[in-house]
A = this chain, B = another copy of it.
């Protein structure tokens, strides 16, 4: 049996809602980007939209427990939920402590929930490539809600914001003052702010965020990000969080801004894929490693020449890439 037969059979079982087939297809797209085009070629007549939520925040703010609670509540309500966890410190991904993982087991066993965790690197074409393909598989599988849990520390993680419709930014009491929130670059992306571990306080940070929102033009768009407080261990505040997510969904749908969000998802995917392809062409066909190697060797003794060397390379690239007029 060759790989294509295998993919066809898996797709068949996938369409019959076989979770093992889903798991196997995810592994395929994770490890081999080219398999995605084979898988999705037969999905054209499938019409299904999932609502895609991002939950982001620094390690240790309780994102995973929160994600688990939200997923559990939705699942109990009859919704099918697909989770993608991109956080090396998440209990889903194998991080965190035993207590968390025991709590997580309850969720992973729920028939309405499917969880996939990704490492934060090593993916051909990058994390967001893998995340995009998995959301597409979840949509085809008929998930009502997709939750992408990411650690909001680095650049790559924040970019996952481009792939979701509602971004929940999770903070904790003691996170710091307004300047730190701004520095971390998360104040621009939140559609909902959620202060977790409310048993430790957090009213001060809520006020800080509200003040920042007062100053911001974001609020003129018609949606003022609410600032919520939860305790993800006890489940306190989870219902309100879900309610606000649905409110944001309704806002996007009524204002037709959901179309913009959807378009943005594809736009991001297209641009990322193109950059990836172009990179390959450049390094495999236009410049060989030896040429670049020799330039790098020269730089060991002339490091400040780097920009002169780059200028020459750019010149060659310009020569080789021609614009049709």
Contacts and interface: CB of A to CB of B under 8 A. Distances in A.
A43 B307 CA distance: 11
Given A185-B88, A281-B317, A320-B322, A302 B155 contact: no
Contacts of A174: 97
Interface residues of A, number: 87
A283 B278 CA distance: 11
A157 B60 CA distance: 18
Contact of A156 (B36, B154, B185, B322): B154
Contacts of A46: 304
A151 interface: yes
Contact of A119 (B185, B305, B323): B185
A321 B40 CA distance: 28
Interface in A214-250: none
B40 A263 contact: no
B313 A183 contact: no
A259 interface: yes
A121 interface: yes
Nearest to A289: B267
Contact of A153 (B89, B270, B305, B322): B89
A309 interface: yes
A96 B177 CA distance: 10
Given A154-B153, A321-B281, A185 B120 contact: yes
A201 interface: no
B300 A154 contact: no
A111 interface: no
Nearest to A47: B301
Interface string A246-277: 00000000000001001110110111011101
Interface string A61-97: 0000000000000000000000000001100011111
A196 to B, nearest CB: 16
B304 A136 contact: yes
Nearest to A46: B304
A140 interface: yes
A204 interface: no
Given A273-B313, A274-B310, A275-B275, 8 more contacts: A95-B176, A95-B180, A120-B153, A121-B158, A267-B296, A270-B310, A273-B310, A281-B318
